[in-house]
Structure 1
Amino acid sequence: MSVLIPWTRIAELQIRPRLFSGNQEGVLGGEDLAVSRMGDRFVVDITTSQMRQDAASRDLIGLLMEATTDDARIELRLPNAPRPIGSGIVIDGAGQTGSTILLRGAYRQTEFVRRFFSIIHGGMHHVHMVRGRAMADADGRVALPIWPMLRFISADGDVCHFDQPMIEGQLVGFDKGVGFERNRTKPLSFSIQERK
């Protein structure tokens, strides 16, 4: 079970890809070949502000300590997020793989443009990004191009979070612990990387 990390004292969140794809160099000057692999995923690097000795800061530190042996989860609050598109959007059909997923439950004519979202599969959030743009039809269905490609075989009804996506995975970098000086706690920095 993942520990939900609150946005208390979070100063900065940076999202970046964790790549398992690569390039194969061409032989004797031949062209390079892009090699896509299932398994590319995301990491967020998080920094807190200077923390006070108060209940909110103690709670954050306690949750981070717990997450060192469990996984951590945090909402992706990214700047310039597109306007909300509502809830109830789910995967339309089991057995989907690849870089396009079929969804249902959107409002008709909803436009999906380069936004991060998470899919809950097997009880865990998996972050993806809309490639380009797509629009739901009159029935609220859409074929959504995504990056990276799915890392699992979908189940019908897997829930998609577009308005409040979450990233979930291993807490990394908190092994340095917490530093205190006088009546303050030093800023913390850590990462959450998706496991699968």
Structure 2
Amino acid sequence: MSILLPAKPAIRRMRPMVVSFGSTLTPFLGGPTQRILRLGTRFAMRVTMPPMRAEVGRQWTSALARGTEAGVLMPIVQDIDVGNPGAPLASAAVTAGMLLPIKGLTPGYAAKDGQFLSIVHNGRRYLHIFAADQVANGSGVLNALIWPMIRTGLSVNDVIEIAQPKIEGGLDEAFEWDVLTEPWIQLPDFTIREDA
């Protein structure tokens, strides 16, 4: 089970990154290039933390050290007011594509292009973004255009986290930290990369 990272202190900076499994075919005789899309494109997040007092820093170092083996789970910081999306769930089984049928939204909820959401299926989170401005109907239903492509089969009533989406994955590098003399702890930047 992934380790939930502490809520405080707030992160200083989060840098989303796209990990693409597509490729570009470039003809050797100068013709047009062709982009090949492949299932599996996902996100990674580079995180910068502020210096923190040792008693708080120990909670972070413990969670990240354990997370090197178990994986970590961290809420996504967004630069918009996401409002009250309600209690969204998948309204149908989905096997592929970029259309996510959602029920349980607040009627008239307006999802914004580029806004993050996470889908929980069989206990694992998959991070996506809304791929256009979209509004739920009066019944709280929305057939949402999302990106990247859905990379696992989804079931009816899978939870969709819009109010507080999260990234779940492994740490990209060996975890280490600095213990300063004040006593303060300074964590190095770390990257969470979705595993699935």
TM-score norm. by structure 2 comes to 0.92
What is aligned with 2:141? 141
- Residue by residue over 1:117-139, the C-alpha shift from the partner in whole angstroms, topping out at 9 and shown as x without a partner, is 10001101111000012221222
What is aligned with 2:108? 109
The question of whether the paired residues in 2 share the 8 Å contact of 1:8 and 1:57 is answered with no
What is aligned with 2:180? 181
**Partners of 1:139 and 1:185 in 2: CA distance:** 49
What letter is aligned with 1:131? A
The question of whether the paired residues in 2 share the 8 Å contact of 1:12 and 1:48 is answered with yes
The question of whether the paired residues in 1 share the 8 Å contact of 2:64 and 2:175 is answered with no
**Partners of 1:130 and 1:64 in 2: CA distance:** 29
Moved over 3 A (4+): none
Name structure 1 gaps, 5 residues minimum.
Answer: none
Report 1:41-52 matches (<5 A). Answer: 41-52=42-53
What is aligned with 2:193? 193
What is aligned with 2:19? 18
| Greater mean deviation of Cα atoms: 121-130 or 81-90 | 81-90
Aligned-partner SS, 1:59: helix
**Partners of 1:147 and 1:41 in 2: CA distance:** 9
C-alpha deviation, 1:176, in angstroms: 4.7
The question of whether the paired residues in 2 share the 8 Å contact of 1:118 and 1:165 is answered with yes
2:162 is equivalent to residue 162 of structure 1: yes
Q: How many residues are treated as equivalent by the alignment?
A: 193
**Partners of 2:170 and 2:28 in 1: CA distance:** 38
- Cα 1:29–1:163 shift into 2, 3 Å: same
What is aligned with 2:151? 151
- Cα RMSD of the aligned pairs, angstroms, is 1.5
Report 1:74-113 matches (<5 A). Answer: 74-79=74-79, 81-113=80-112
What letter is aligned with 1:101? L
The question of whether the paired residues in 2 share the 8 Å contact of 1:49 and 1:188 is answered with no
The question of whether the paired residues in 2 share the 8 Å contact of 1:8 and 1:60 is answered with no
What is aligned with 1:72? 72
Name structure 2 gaps, 5 residues minimum.
Answer: none
- Residue by residue over 1:141-178, the C-alpha shift from the partner in whole angstroms, topping out at 9 and shown as x without a partner, is 111111100010111111111110000000222x2512
